[in-house]
Amino acid sequence: MAISVDTVYKTVLLILNKEQRGYMTPDEFNKIGSQVQREIFEAYFEDLNQQLRIPQSDMEYSDRVAVTDEKIAEFKTENDQTVAEKTIGGTNPFTTPSELYRLGSITYEPNTATYKEMQRVGRAEIYNIRKAPLTAPTTNYPIYLYEDNKALVYPETIVNPLHVKMQYVKKPTDINWAYTTGSLGQLVYDSANSIDFELHNSERTEVVLKVLLYQGVVIRDPQIVQVAASRVQQEEVNEKS
């Protein structure tokens, strides 16, 4: 579940006004918000590595590895030929989708009934694997070398990008609080052209705190953010009722 860019921006403005710390323009917010999202997103992977080194609780909802993986799951996807950012380019080698952050796996799917996961190999292994008749790659046991954002697939007869699927973690899309100008010169939120934070909804308070920190405002009590966010949500409800 995404985090509303409008709620975050209005919460930030409310706190800035309360603290008498000036104003943040939409352009400033969009740039800082996008940076904050990238920082939180990239920290997930280090957090996951750290949690894997320590014993985890068997209690439901208390497994930190599962909690972190759930946050990363917001960005897990597969290439889609109908979406430009997710399209694999070229024939063989295949260029990875432009939105790819970390590659998970590659599968060979020549038809709806066939699904083969390719084995990832290193440059030093390819020669010996291809040379030996017993280990030479086939369409039943395909392999790939991943270098320079390209996947070189063996056997080399696999050339159709429609038959190759990449499962990966995508980069977060930059946020955007879009607006139109009202009759009095006020900024009116434009939901149709805005882009929400793609982070897990549990990160909302962290997002607000980090945006404020970039703006030079240190809030030591997260409860202030929660109260401000509740007030913003109540105002939105009142506007629609």
- pLDDT tens, N- to C-terminus, the chain (241 residues): 689 999 999 999 988 887 677 789 999 999 999 999 999 999 999 888 777 766 656 656 667 788 888 899 999 999 998 999 999 999 999 999 999 999 999 999 999 888 999 999 999 898 889 888 888 999 999 999 999 999 999 999 999 999 999 999 999 999 999 999 999 999 999 999 999 999 999 899 889 988 988 887 766 666 777 777 776 667 666 655 5
Q: What is the domain extent for residue 157?
A: 77-170
Considering the domain boundaries, does residue 146 fall inside one?
Answer: yes
Compute the distance between CA of residue 190 and CA of residue 192 in angstroms, rounded to an integer.
Answer: 6
Considering the domain boundaries, does residue 151 fall inside one?
Answer: yes
Record the tokens describing residue 53, joined without a space: 């080194």
Closest CA to 174 of 75, 11, 32: 32
Closest CA to 191 of 229, 236, 235: 236
Considering the domain boundaries, does residue 231 fall inside one?
Answer: no
Considering the domain boundaries, does residue 160 fall inside one?
Answer: yes
- pLDDT reported for residue 57: 60
Closest CA to 65 of 44, 81, 51: 51
Considering the domain boundaries, does residue 65 fall inside one?
Answer: no
Considering the domain boundaries, does residue 81 fall inside one?
Answer: yes
Considering the domain boundaries, does residue 69 fall inside one?
Answer: no
Compute the distance between CA of residue 197 and CA of residue 166 in angstroms, rounded to an integer.
Answer: 24
- pLDDT reported for residue 28: 94
- pLDDT reported for residue 91: 93
- Max Cα distance, the chain (Å): 77
Compute the distance between CA of residue 173 and CA of residue 185 in angstroms, rounded to an integer.
Answer: 29
Considering the domain boundaries, does residue 26 fall inside one?
Answer: no
Compute the distance between CA of residue 238 and CA of residue 100 in angstroms, rounded to an integer.
Answer: 41
Compute the distance between CA of residue 41 and CA of residue 47 in angstroms, rounded to an integer.
Answer: 10
The number of domains in the chain is 1
- pLDDT reported for residue 18: 78
- pLDDT reported for residue 59: 59
Compute the distance between CA of residue 158 and CA of residue 91 in angstroms, rounded to an integer.
Answer: 8
- pLDDT reported for residue 55: 66
- Give 38-99 as a DSSP string: HHHHHHHHHHHHHHHTS----STT--HHHHHHHHHGGGEEE--TTSGGGPPBSSSSEEPPTT
* DSSP state, residue 2: P
Q: What is the pTM of this model?
A: 0.83
Closest CA to 147 of 118, 116, 127, 122: 122
